[in-house]
Structure 1
């Protein structure tokens, strides 16, 4: 019996010794990770993203009062790893931005960026009451249009505006609205300018502010106003062209331009062309040479609008 016990004991120690000599090397972890994602375009502070290495996501939580329209990241990678593209600023509304990390051994890992804006209040926006006519907000092309809201931030690029023409369904996107602080006010004011070629008519206005979307209670009614223009001083030679810019309006159906000198003869200035924002005219070859210091009386005629009369400073020299 003792003999058998010794035999089994010897076998046990041989197994233990054999097991101690045998080692199993673990597979090295791939060095293809994003270790740190930092938002660097904040004044006097930095903000770090939350990185989930299991589902390969990067989540940036942005307090609304920072007023960020984009984030500019600084990215720290595993040793020896590189990004497959140069990291660029990311718009605050851009979701599912991808970053692919390539390790020295050629393995890759792709992350998805999530941007979450933390806005603690429900968005409320309204038009200034003085511009509401018959239940509509009246606005004009190339004229600044304003509304107020509890945006709790200021800057350009924070708002996204969709204008939907109620008759045609045409969609116009406005992404350059500016939000400004109003001293002493509990809310902020936003400004945007309808373009010179916008169709007139009634629009539904949808306003997106980070993760919230609201529809303005009253629709936006775009109408044209009497064409008007600026009259800067002009120096020109006979036979040359001169141009004048529109002022808080657009040019519509320009028909003719005449100028009277010192209450004497009236001269036609042929129209070479015009856009909504500028007209180009020709000075006739026989136009009298002289200096007409705000004694040149211009008359501009537009289809379906009353004529516009202006005094201008005009200096004409020989060709």
Structure 2
């Protein structure tokens, strides 16, 4: 009888060995995995301070557009970021407190934007303990720029019967919050300029002032004397570098 021997192809043998090795490897890998119980997690719950301020907001723009302020209950501060274009002189507020906690002054009391003394609030919890918060008002207003009328070589002259046209950047073009003064070399205010009709242009930052409201006004500025122009626009002020001359 003839015996027939069939030779296995080499790639088939390699595939079989690889499969066996993979299965063995998986078995070994599974043997090495063990269940480890993690340490228990302890959640620490602390009681919130009853003297805290939960929220503080400025309601002048209306309830829907109210300005929420940053309350820091650790440092005991309230920071109001106020855009300059609102031109507010006083703030209306709404304050949220924990139950049975009171505050003084009351939330309904108007707050002056440009107070000369620090503004503080005192909270009082039901158990009689108190906290004092300091209010900080940060006015967001870009740098005020006032274009010069004179140059180093030439001094601008203007009669008291003529208007003074001022141009620049970022001043609030409103006579209510943008005021112009004539000052001496020491910065002392010598004369406040008057509104000139409706001479203001919001888009180009141009505003017009007059020295007098009527011809009967006696201007107390000295003629042929150097004076400087000072502009105060809401929260900022700037003085021209070069002087001007006043003529009668």
Normalising by structure 2, we get a TM-score of 0.56
One of 143, 155, 170 as aligned partner of 1:151: 170
Deviation at 1:54, TM superposition (A): 1.0
Q: Which residue of 1 aligns with 2:220?
A: 199
Q: Which residue of 2 aligns with 1:138?
A: 158
Separation in 1 of the partners of 2:65 and 2:88? Answer: 13
Q: Which residue of 2 aligns with 1:88?
A: 110
One of 121, 127, 148 as aligned partner of 1:105: 127
Distance 1:214 1:38, change over 3 A: same
Mapped contact 1:40–1:72 kept (Cα < 8 A): yes
Q: Provide the secondary structure at the position in 2 that maps to 1:75.
A: strand
Q: Which residue of 2 aligns with 1:21?
A: none
Out of 33-42 and 147-156, give the one that drifted further.
147-156
Q: Which runs of 5+ in 1 are unaligned?
A: 1-25, 226-319
Deviations 1:123-175 (A, max 9, x none): 2213678xxxx51353639x8654233226444553465653237x6445969
Separation in 2 of the partners of 1:172 and 1:58? Answer: 38
Separation in 1 of the partners of 2:193 and 2:70? Answer: 29
Deviation at 1:187, TM superposition (A): 2.4
Q: Which runs of 5+ in 2 are unaligned?
A: 1-44
Mapped contact 2:120–2:134 kept (Cα < 8 A): yes
Q: Which residue of 2 aligns with 1:71?
A: 91
Deviation at 1:48, TM superposition (A): 0.8
Out of 203-212 and 36-45, give the one that drifted further.
203-212
Aligned length: 191
Superposed, 1:245-264 pairs within 5 Å as none
Normalising by structure 1, we get a TM-score of 0.45
Mapped contact 2:120–2:135 kept (Cα < 8 A): yes
Find out whether 1:35 has 2:54 as its counterpart. yes
* Structure possessing the higher radius of gyration over alpha carbons: 2
- Alignment root-mean-square deviation, CA: 4.3
Separation in 2 of the partners of 1:222 and 1:188? Answer: 21
Deviation at 1:116, TM superposition (A): 1.8
Q: Which residue of 2 aligns with 1:126?
A: 147
